[in-house]
Structure 1
């Protein structure tokens, strides 16, 4: 029985990730992605240059941890409309932000393997949302 419960829980987590992925794509594909793509092109298709130039705004920060490979990306405050409106309060919803970052950078660097980890989020009790991005 324990095995079955664990399996059901794992399937539920996978399903939630897929739902957040779809939601994240809908949220950013026609708004943030085109803006990020334009910046990326202006910066010679280089994330390091893009983050140096555009990585410190009221909506986004991006730090280069290891050139060309590891970045910290985040938001000085939560930018999700569902959270801001009060409709969502569960920390699991931050998976949506992780998925949106993964989607955007994956589109900018389609030939690279991208991973995104949640470091901390506002819904999780932090002052800001921070994500570690690794490009391989």
Structure 2
């Protein structure tokens, strides 16, 4: 079996999962992905912003290929990625937009790692794998525990 055939079956497998199952599955994938380096970049932004979420999302604009936007101070933000950074997609192995759940989970994990005790809701607005020019996530701060 060719590796490309394996990935086709992988795509079929994740398509057969419920949204809840995909979230659980890609939660581990997302953690592994950002723990490999992206989280340290976010941590540096967090430190530069002195934990201020509004400043953090403004500083995100300094990162190459990233746009941060404050929609409602302290509550609602957008994080936009101007290119897909997923290695599976960049190598052409996986093309299903269902894989974007991994990115959503990685953003959620990163935020919860930086702002412990806060709950976030992260919604994928659209993605490059869906045919859009960028990947945009809407982030809402739920409450402080």
What is the Cα-based RMSD across aligned positions, in Å? 1.8
Distance in 2 (CA, whole Å) between partners of 1:126 and 1:29 is 27
Distance change in 2, residues 1:33/1:57 (3 Å) = closer
Q: Which moved more, 1:47-56 or 1:87-96?
A: 47-56
Partner of 1:29: 35
What's the TM-score once normalised by structure 2's chain length? 0.81
Cα contact 2:26–2:102 (8 A) shared by 1:
yes
Which of the numbers 55, 64, 74 marks the counterpart of 1:68?
A: 74
Partner of 1:110: 116
Deviation at 1:30, TM superposition (A): 3.5
Q: Which runs of 5+ in 1 are unaligned?
A: 1-8
Deviation at 1:116, TM superposition (A): 0.3
Cα contact 1:83–1:89 (8 A) shared by 2:
yes
Distance in 2 (CA, whole Å) between partners of 1:117 and 1:78 is 17
Cα contact 1:71–1:132 (8 A) shared by 2:
yes
Distance in 1 (CA, whole Å) between partners of 2:18 and 2:71 is 34
Q: Which moved more, 1:105-114 or 1:56-65?
A: 56-65
Cα contact 1:56–1:62 (8 A) shared by 2:
no
Write the deviation string for residues 93-123 of structure 1: whole angstroms up to 9, x where unpaired. Answer: 0000000000000111111110000100000
Q: Which runs of 5+ in 2 are unaligned?
A: 1-14
How many residues get paired?
A: 128
Distance in 1 (CA, whole Å) between partners of 2:61 and 2:136 is 13
